[in-house]
Structure 1
Amino acid sequence: MIKKFFLLHLSLLGCLTSFAQITIEDCYTKAQANYPLIKQYDLVEKTTAYNLSNANKGYLPQVTFSAKASYQSDVTKFPIDLSQLGIQDISIPTLSNDQYSATLDVNQVIWDGGTIKSQKEGMETAAEVDKKNVEVSIYALNERINQLYFGILLAEAQTQQNRLLQDELERNYNQIESYILNGIANQSDLDAVKVDLLKAKQSEVQFSNTKKAYIEVLSKLIGEELGEDTEFVKPMPVRPSTLTINRPELGLYDAQIQNLATKDREITSGLMPKLGLFATGGYGKPGLNMLKDGFEAYYVAGVRVSWNIGNFYTQKNNRKVIQNNIQSIETQRETFLFNTNLDITQKSSHIDNWVEQLKYDDEIIALRGSVKRASEVKMANGTISASDLTRDINAEQMAIRDKLLHETELLLALYNLKFATNN
């Protein structure tokens, strides 16, 4: 009983595998998740978190320890000889040539003019630029998937139609064999059909290899093994309802401009004075009392105000550089929109062309089929050769292949238009 259940389970798994389906939207999602660059998102997030954490530590007391030992060839002395003034019992102390010092400095920011805040904003906007760059690179995968996916659909359709052609040629081959027995055809007629049958089989190999190659590349892109028995769902030919451009490149330009705006605020914060507290504790020889030659502890504490006036000299030019960079990005945006609108116009024209082509395909196929059937009757009556019949059969098949190509090209054009607009 268990063995039967196990075999049934395996057969069900086999059925599920053989009837596996995938859509082009699935391929988009899987390819983005599989693309190595997607890891850059997490790296950007982690790096930004570390940088922001470091920036926040600028509000904490900054502690510096230093120690020094020195020997100097001379020390400060009073140039007065008290003995010449009749003073014998008083001597002026002098410093030792060897001196020692160990200090601990503590500085606490009270107000930094917005420097740390603007630095944090700059880190966040720079991280956003990195993310948008990743989005642009990943979005470009969709165009490659379009080419592969619809190449697979076209190869499948051509293979199916080719097999129908082979069936028809084999049927005509068998009929001509009977015509030879009845004396209304000869061996050359049979050979002509045989040549076309071999060509059809040759084409089937080509279509199969093309599909296999596309599937292998697509499998690598999405990180999932696809078999030749996988069903690639043919999407509906739906034209985008809007041609508004919503590409990730536009988000990248916005992020770049925002990042430059934070640099402008950094310039403003650099013009502000800085206010802080400081304290220094030390132990050394001499201490604060330079006239006392001995080791002692000491401390100094107070308030410090600093103002780098030199930043005013360069701030105008720095702001002009930022404005020039912003204008450069705006020019890039305008150029991108201009080129994309041209691309949209071209792709829309391609769609219109394939729609017009498809209007005539069915009628052409019907007429070619009628001519072929008439040729089959003539062949049966011995009024035309097998070469004439196979010519009409091939003409009908060419018309069918043209329709398959037009349908696939229309779908590809529609999805390329979706790629151009991201709608």
Structure 2
Amino acid sequence: MKLIYLLLFFLVGSMVVGAHAQENTLTISQCYEWARSNYPQIQQYGLIDRTEEYNLSNASRGWLPQIALNAKATYQSDVTKLPFDAKQLSAIMPGIEIPTLAKDQYQVVAEVNQTIWDGGVIHSARRITKAEAEANREQLESDLYTLNERVNQLYFGCLLQDELLAQNILLQKELQINIDRIVAMMANGVANQSDLESMQVELLNAQQKEIELKSSRTAYRQMLGTLVGKTLSENIRMEVPALPGNSLSQSINRPELRALDAKNRLIEMQDKQITAGIMPRIGAFVQGGYGRPGLNMLDNNFDAFYMAGLRLTWNLGKLYTLKNDRHKLDVNRQMVDVQRDVFLFNTNLQLIQQNTEIRKMNDLMKADDDIIRLRTSIKKAAETKLENGVISVTDLIREINAEDMARQTAAVHRVQHLLSVYNYMYTTN
């Protein structure tokens, strides 16, 4: 039982440590996701969805019966009369009176119209609504994608400060070792106080540099934290991104291209809407009213009436602008094609530059290893020469600084190489 309890204790402990380590580790993928969800513009997705929902609902209601209410009161200079005199009619047909219509007339009419066939206008309006919403989403996706570049700059800026700070700590340890060596040499009478103070000054300079690097690292982390909407503590470990296993792709698959495709689809829907606009419309109607006169024009009394039937409407006036409307859509298509060509042209130029930068960093990194190896060998030889009294402390300090500079340069090249690769991946997506 004790053995079982012991195993459970270690298992739970390892799980807690693993979870804690995971919480204190930050990856660039997390930053991409957090920056996207934290950016205020992300709220436009919900607004686009709501606008699409409202517009689709409005378009569908075009099939509902349309009710109209009209009322009028008029006074006219003349009214309808029979083409003979009333006295002559009385002589021919005794007892017959011809009513005279009143010149003031009143009418209230309610009309219900039901669309039977609209030539595809409502269907076209729904398709345009969906195409507009999709175009807006793709454009928003394109705008949000630019956040990745900002994340790259800040994330790798943080990594660079971490690298330089780690190298600074190594330099301080190196200087402290040499301070201890000089103290021992002073005890043996082969070094003096000025030698010790020279090395101590270099240590103080390194400690000042550490303060500057920590301050710079804090500033980078604060900016990155603001961008992603998280508080990044000083003890959080930022994971160095891995290089892609395969060769970098040269095909361009950016959100900007998908946004342009969505614009083209919207133009196609607009073209179909133009076709629907020149089609005839068929509908049914019912009219009901009350007024003087009613449908019987010879009755001068107030009366109720109704009328029902079918109606064909064909607005041929849109044929006048049909050709120009289609030409305008052709111009819009050409504008989208020009935007695509400009984007691809500029992106390809950027890829050429980034490819050159990646190759340059690869070559510099290969030379860095040799430079560091040689500088380390020269420094060790200088330490031996100092112990033998062949060179001065100033000469050793120069070699220590040269090795430190080589290591700093190598650290900068490593981070710049990673940044170049991830910028290339951002450019191609």
Q: Aligned partner of 2:137: which letter?
A: K
Q: Is residue 417 of structure 2 the alignment partner of residue 406 of structure 1?
A: no
User: 2:198 maps to which residue?
Assistant: 192
Structure 1: any 5+ residue segments left out of the alignment? 1-7
Q: Is residue 316 of structure 2 the alignment partner of residue 309 of structure 1?
A: yes
User: 1:103 maps to which residue?
Assistant: 109
User: 1:256 maps to which residue?
Assistant: 263
Q: Is residue 223 of structure 2 the alignment partner of residue 217 of structure 1?
A: yes
Q: Is residue 274 of structure 2 the alignment partner of residue 276 of structure 1?
A: no
Change (3 A) 1:388 1:101: same
User: 1:5 maps to which residue?
Assistant: none
Q: Aligned partner of 1:278: which letter?
A: F
1:85 to partner: Cα distance: 6.5
Summarize deviations over 1:220-263 as a string: whole Å, max 9, x none: 22222211111111122236442211101110010001101111
Structure 2: any 5+ residue segments left out of the alignment? 1-11
Identity %: 44
Q: Aligned partner of 1:246: which letter?
A: N
Summarize deviations over 1:132-170 as a string: whole Å, max 9, x none: 011001111111111111111111111111011011112
Partners of 1:363 and 1:182 in 2: how far apart? 36
User: 2:356 maps to which residue?
Assistant: 349
Summarize deviations over 1:7-33 as a string: whole Å, max 9, x none: x99xx6999279611111111112212
Change (3 A) 1:203 1:271: same
User: 1:391 maps to which residue?
Assistant: 398
Of the three residues 248, 255, 266, the one matched with 2:273 is: 266
Aligned-residue RMSD, C-alpha: 2.2
Summarize deviations over 1:11-65 as a string: whole Å, max 9, x none: x699927961111111111221222222211221121111111101111211112
Q: Which runs of 4+ in 1 moved over 6 A?
A: 12-15
Of the three residues 228, 233, 236, the one matched with 1:227 is: 233
Change (3 A) 1:98 1:82: closer
1:332 to partner: Cα distance: 0.8
1:81 to partner: Cα distance: 3.9
Of the three residues 383, 387, 402, the one matched with 1:380 is: 387
User: 1:127 maps to which residue?
Assistant: 133
Q: Aligned partner of 2:223: which letter?
A: V
Question: Residues 90 and 97 of structure 2 are in contact (CA less than 8 Å); yes or no, is this contact kept in structure 1?
Answer: no
Q: For residue 246 of structure 1, give the secondary structure of its aligned residue in structure 2.
A: coil
Q: For residue 227 of structure 1, give the secondary structure of its aligned residue in structure 2.
A: coil
Partners of 1:95 and 1:220 in 2: how far apart? 82
> Counterparts of 1:45-60 in structure 2 under 5 Å?
45-60=49-64
Partners of 1:131 and 1:18 in 2: how far apart? 34
Question: What is the aligned residue count?
Answer: 412
Question: Residues 281 and 314 of structure 2 are in contact (CA less than 8 Å); yes or no, is this contact kept in structure 1?
Answer: yes
Question: Residues 19 and 229 of structure 1 are in contact (CA less than 8 Å); yes or no, is this contact kept in structure 2?
Answer: no
Q: What TM-score do you get using the length of structure 2 for normalisation?
A: 0.91
Of the three residues 71, 74, 91, the one matched with 2:97 is: 91
**Could you tell which deviates more after superposition, 409-418 or 240-249?**
240-249
Q: Aligned partner of 2:331: which letter?
A: N
Partners of 1:150 and 1:60 in 2: how far apart? 59
Q: Is residue 44 of structure 2 the alignment partner of residue 40 of structure 1?
A: yes
Partners of 2:319 and 2:89 in 1: how far apart? 58
Q: Aligned partner of 2:380: which letter?
A: R
Change (3 A) 1:284 1:17: farther
Q: For residue 382 of structure 1, give the secondary structure of its aligned residue in structure 2.
A: coil
